C-alpha cells in the first residue's frame, strides 16, 4: 500500500480560470467541464489538482514515467471522486478530497 497527500492554496487557482491553455495542459476535459461552471471554480480546480498530485506521489515509486496530466479525477454517479489514469478507471486507488475557502487537501491510497 502507498499513500500520497497534497495541499494547495485556492487563491493560486483563481488566475488559471481564464487561462484556457494552462487548463488544457494540467486538467482533463472532464475536470475542466466539471469545475469551470461552478461558482467556486478555483476551489474545484485546486482540489482536483491536489488529488492528481496525491495520486502521483503515491504511484511514483511504481511508475517513474507517470505525469500529473496522466491522472484525472472524475466524480461517479453519486459524487464520489474516482481516479482515472490515461483515461482508464483505477479501482485500487482511493482518494479523499477536502477544502475550506482558502485551502484544499487530498489524500490518495493505492492498494
How many CB atoms are located within 10 Å of the residue 55 CB?
31
CATH of residue 45's domain is: 3.90.470.20
Is 70 exceeded by the pLDDT of residue 100?
Answer: yes
pLDDT digits (tens, 9 = 90+) for 19-74: 999 999 999 999 999 999 999 999 999 999 999 999 999 998 676 688 888 999 99
The model's pTM: 0.93
pLDDT: which is higher, 16 or 48 = 48
* Cα–Cα distances in angstroms (integers) from residue 7 to residues 18, 39, 88, in the given order: 22, 21, 25
Q: Copy the grid coordinates of residue 43.
A: 476551489
Average pLDDT over residues 103-108: 98
State how many domains the chain has.
1
Closest of 39, 59, 43, 56 to residue 105, by C-alpha? 43
For residues 43 and 105, give the distance between their C-alpha atoms in angstroms, rounded to a whole number.
11
Q: What's the domain range around 89?
A: 2-110
pLDDT of residue 61: 67
The pLDDT score that the predictor gives to residue 68 is 86
Amino acid at each position: 500500500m502507498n499513500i500520497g497527500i497534497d495541499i494547495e492554496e485556492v487563491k493560486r487557482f483563481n488566475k488559471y480560470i481564464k487561462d484556457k491553455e494552462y487548463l488544457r495542459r494540467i486538467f482533463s476535459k472532464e475536470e475542466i467541464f466539471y469545475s469551470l461552471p461552478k461558482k467556486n471554480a478555483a476551489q474545484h480546480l485546486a482540489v482536483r489538482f491536489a488529488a492528481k498530485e496525491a495520486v502521483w506521489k503515491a504511484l511514483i515509486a511504481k511508475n517513474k514515467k507517470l505525469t500529473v496530466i496522466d491522472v484525472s479525477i472524475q466524480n461517479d454517479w453519486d459524487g464520489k471522486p474516482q481516479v482515472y489514469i490515461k483515461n482508464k478507471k483505477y479501482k485500487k486507488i482511493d482518494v479523499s478530497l477536502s477544502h475550506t475557502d482558502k485551502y484544499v487537501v487530498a489524500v490518495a491510497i493505492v492498494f
